[in-house]
Structure 1
């Protein structure tokens, strides 16, 4: 019998870079933000003595930068109606933007931050032991612990759904952080976090352009369909918003989905002169 191969060495934990390594990695960015005086300026200020004074001043500035963790690069991304877009960040994290979504990716020295201004996105985050990943959606803040999750922003209210790993959610007005387990979701707004509840697998279908509704209020259904429809969808009677909708629709055919609503609900659909679609109670 052949000899068994030696066991594989145990996996080594990720090494946390030292301050010197961080400085080397971001030296160019620091030079732009904190330029050193020119040689002629140093001579006018006292030659070698002034040059020696620059070093502690620079060290203090660098320490301040690392502590404050300012953004040194910000990029803006938008999607239009019925458009989904995938991004790969420099750290390997992947983002999928739903239609009608606007977000900013901000690169910091010690952290990674995404500001979700509008819409919905899927975050597949590459783990980093020393640069945390956080999503800010108005008053709602989602901290990643190496995971896959969705954030759906609706004004100051956001829905957070976790698919893999772990996230912590906190809101303005409270220091408490609510942890989610895979397959859970919650609603969050300033001063309020709903208890986590189970998230059905249908909530992940939007990434494939498939919209599945299971007894979802009509007002919420129309909000979602509007992302994929280039004409305004108006609910003339807000009381109709509580009607429950169940069904599976194609996001790329949102107009067909709206046209089917009178077949499953006591509503009628009319097109106004400006092209907007109006839902009202059936006569």
Structure 2
């Protein structure tokens, strides 16, 4: 096999992996296969990074092409990586379409590390620190001579910071920054804002990169939104903070809608609710991440809902 054929095979595979990552359909097993392929050689990593940068560059052009509602994301379909002559052209066309249409595509292409849906993943950082990623979480890593910065692109991540490095360790999310002072902490980036929970030591949180800081110690919490307004929350129990690291979902007085949404993040398929839940009781309990359907049935029973399962791992909760 000549070197040109080898290079072409790597190019084809890299383009197809970009498409798969952009699709948002990869489960934990496929993510593991991707990491194995990515780690085969410097050539594999270099070609993949080149392809990813190409599609990242499309982000600034999307507004000129997109005017309709993004296409819904499909789940559960399995793709097989097959190298065919000129397949990279077709893959490039699909990736270009996804750049304009697929929800969250650019987040997946920006990410250096991410967890699949339903996966909790541990990432060893080059400075000896550890990042744990919750289901569907994604981070970009920026280490240089001045700082160690992690961009939390989506989801929840917990960090155990290695000390002895003079560079500050910072986690950026939604315009704000959390800086380690000597600690382990969780950052949760959601639609309603960013929550910071300290499980050990202390951090300084800023709602904006240059805004006033708030010092948080162990068991203390804070939240900030897109407006950068920083709010100190009631201290929590360390044992319930980032409980997903131990395979648990801890709900404490959450609404039924919030409980369903939180548990549903660990399911491979869609979870739909058709009911007026305004008078439903608050939900408290501890559930297992690896048994989300069982957890949802328990919540449904508490709320007086019926559960119906449909093909494609879809679950419907209704009166």
TM-score interval (norm. to shorter) = 0.5 to 0.7
Superposed displacement of residue 206, structure 1: 1.3
Q: Does 1:80 align with 2:136?
A: no
Q: Is the 8 A contact 1:229 1:255 kept in 2?
A: yes
Quick one: higher RCO (CA 8 Å, sep 6+), 1 or 2? 2
Q: TM-score, normalised by structure 2?
A: 0.60
The answer for the alignment partner of 1:211 in structure 2 is 249
Q: TM-score, normalised by structure 1?
A: 0.67
Distance 1:238 1:121, change over 3 A: farther
Root-mean-square deviation (CA, aligned residues, Å) is 2.3
Which of 236, 241, 254 is residue 199 of structure 1 equivalent to? 236
The answer for the alignment partner of 1:108 in structure 2 is 144
Query: What secondary structure is seen at the aligned counterpart in 1 of 2:232?
Result: coil
Which of 83, 89, 92 is residue 128 of structure 2 equivalent to? 92
Q: Is the 8 A contact 1:110 1:131 kept in 2?
A: yes
Q: Which has the higher helix share?
A: 2
Q: How far apart, CA to CA, are the structure 2 residues paired with 1:252 and 1:92?
A: 29
Superposed displacement of residue 99, structure 1: 1.3
Superposed displacement of residue 218, structure 1: 2.1
Q: Does 1:120 align with 2:156?
A: yes
Which of 185, 205, 229 is residue 221 of structure 2 equivalent to? 185
Superposed displacement of residue 279, structure 1: 2.5
The answer for the alignment partner of 2:46 in structure 1 is none
The answer for the alignment partner of 2:167 in structure 1 is 131
Distance 1:264 1:180, change over 3 A: same
Distance 1:162 1:241, change over 3 A: farther
Superposed displacement of residue 195, structure 1: 1.9
Unaligned 5+ runs, structure 1: 1-73
What does 1:1-283 align with in structure 2 at a 5 Å threshold? 76-128=112-164, 130-155=166-191, 157-172=193-208, 175-189=211-225, 190-200=227-237, 201-237=239-275, 239-240=277-278, 243-272=281-310, 275-280=313-318, 282=319
Q: Is the 8 A contact 1:118 1:155 kept in 2?
A: no
Q: How far apart, CA to CA, are the structure 1 residues paired with 2:245 and 2:317?
A: 27
Superposed displacement of residue 270, structure 1: 3.0
Q: How far apart, CA to CA, are the structure 2 residues paired with 1:174 and 1:242?
A: 42
Q: Which has the higher strand share?
A: 1
Q: Is the 8 A contact 1:174 1:191 kept in 2?
A: no
Q: How far apart, CA to CA, are the structure 2 residues paired with 1:225 and 1:128?
A: 38
Q: How far apart, CA to CA, are the structure 1 residues paired with 2:307 and 2:111?
A: 41
